[in-house]
Structure 1
């Protein structure tokens, strides 16, 4: 699994995930939409931590500047 996410991409995903989590726990979003967005936030955090997005190779995207 080769890294395909750059620093900016990872930072944006983490910020979005934190925003979703805050909205969920302040009851701004709830119900099924809240659960779906929490799962999406979890995916964003996980992909940011491993620097790999499984959709990027399919779409031909690589935001990582490092060559491995």
Structure 2
């Protein structure tokens, strides 16, 4: 796995994970919405910590800034 996510991309995903967790633990989301958003949060957390997004790979997308 080659890193294809920049720092800003990773930070936004971690922020979304925090928001989803906050909504869940305060009881604002429940049921199917909580399950779907929970799975999404786990995926976002995993991709943020590894720096690799599997959906970027087939399209050869990278959010890493490259100095020229």
TM > 0.5 fold call: yes
For the aligned residue pairs, the C-alpha RMSD in angstroms reads 1.1
SS state at 1:55 partner: coil
Structure 1 unpaired stretches of 5+: none
Which range is displaced more, 12-21 or 51-60?
51-60
Q: How many residues align?
A: 66
Moved over 4 A (4+): none
Q: C-alpha separation between the residues in 2 aligned to 1:52 and 1:45?
A: 11
Does the alignment pair 1:29 with 2:29? yes
Partner of residue 15, structure 1: 15
Give the TM-score normalised by the residue count of structure 1.
Answer: 0.90
CA separation in 1, counterparts of 2:42 and 2:22? 13
Normalising by structure 2, we get a TM-score of 0.90
